[in-house]
Amino acid sequence: MEEVKTNGTLIWSDRWRLGALSKTEMMNIGFTSVLIGFLFVLFHLFGNTVENVDSNSAFTWMIARWGDKESFGADYSHGYLIPFVSLWVVWARKNELLAAPKKVCMWGLGVVIMALAMHWLGAKMQQTRISLMSLILLLWGIPYYFFGWRVAKLLIFPCAYLIFCVPLNFLDALSGPLQRVAVSVGYAGIDGLGIECNRVGNMLMSPYFQLNVEKACSGLRSLLAMTALTAVYANMTQKGLIKQWLLFASSIPIAVIGNVGRIISIALVSITTGQSFGAGLHHDWAGYVFFSVAISLMVAFGRLLTVNYKELFSTWKKAYLNHS
């Protein structure tokens, strides 16, 4: 059997040729293909029943919402990356998935039936979001049925991560509170730097600049992107659910701090280079300031969670006693 390896990594094996596969393996591949085709037909041809929409595809509807600027849909422009990140997580765990014991589990069949019922309900209610949620549940429930809980447990995160693809319009209600928080904390930060500034509603006014913090600048888009980024970072770097959830929850204040940093940077640049540049070109590219601040805080908090404080305290105590 010919094998090709690079740096110890298997690149190709004759075992993968179709002619080398056993009858059982060919049947499994055929059954998997039929299953994938069934899901595609179900959600592409019968996935969307919303009136006044040209396509019956749930996928087409979802992708259109990612770029919909009329209803904050553009806040989900990161949706294009989510499936690839989910697949990467599955690939990173391929050895664990292959090593996990496998057996048919009837609980998984129950999940599949529930997911199909959700899709039917979503179609009847003309709620494509419910249908998309049922697709995510199906993608988890089918392996659960065929391979059992040990495999399903490893797939919980990559499947659940796909929720970040689904535009959840109720989150638009957060734009107002986030806008008020950004204005209040931004004003406090600018005033704390000793810069003359007054707040009038959502306006920050100074002899040097005038900033109107609109809903589009509330930080909702940044918050959604940051929660998606923090979720995968926490899952891959933290051991234990408590630490993972702590780091994920921290993405909310981190996103707020990052957005406030962006507002303050616009004010400082406006003072030094003029209103036209600060509220113009710098404003358009200030997202880099947000992610620089937010990602730095995310990594720093993640590192704090990985510190063994018991061992660190013992080291300090030992050093203190030796010094004394």
**Together in a domain, 157 and 196:** no
Does the residue 181 lie in any domain? Answer: yes
Closest by CA to 174, choosing from 221, 231, 228, is 221
Does the residue 222 lie in any domain? Answer: yes
Q: Please give the Cα distance from 65 to 53 (Å, whole number).
A: 12
Domain final position from 106, 132, 167? 167
Lowest mean pLDDT among 63-72, 104-113, 231-240, 305-314: 63-72
**Together in a domain, 85 and 69:** yes
Domain final position from 149, 167, 185? 167
Q: Please give the Cα distance from 53 to 49 (Å, whole number).
A: 8
Tens of pLDDT, residue by residue over 139-166, are 999 989 888 899 999 999 999 999 998 8
For the chain, how many structural domains are there in total?
2
Q: Where are any strands of DSSP class E within the chain?
A: 3-6, 9-13, 198-200, 203-205, 210-212
Domain final position from 147, 167, 187? 167
Q: What's the mean pLDDT when you consider all of the chain? A: 81
Does the residue 225 lie in any domain? Answer: yes
Model-wide pTM > 0.85? no
Q: Which domain holds residue 204?
A: 172-312
Tens of pLDDT, residue by residue over 11-56, are 555 555 555 566 666 676 777 788 888 888 888 888 887 766 677 8
Does the residue 2 lie in any domain? Answer: no
**Together in a domain, 153 and 205:** no
Instruction: Determine how many CB atoms are found less than 10 A away from the CB of residue 82.
Output: 19
**Together in a domain, 73 and 187:** no
**Together in a domain, 238 and 293:** yes
Q: Is the pLDDT of residue 221 over 90?
A: no
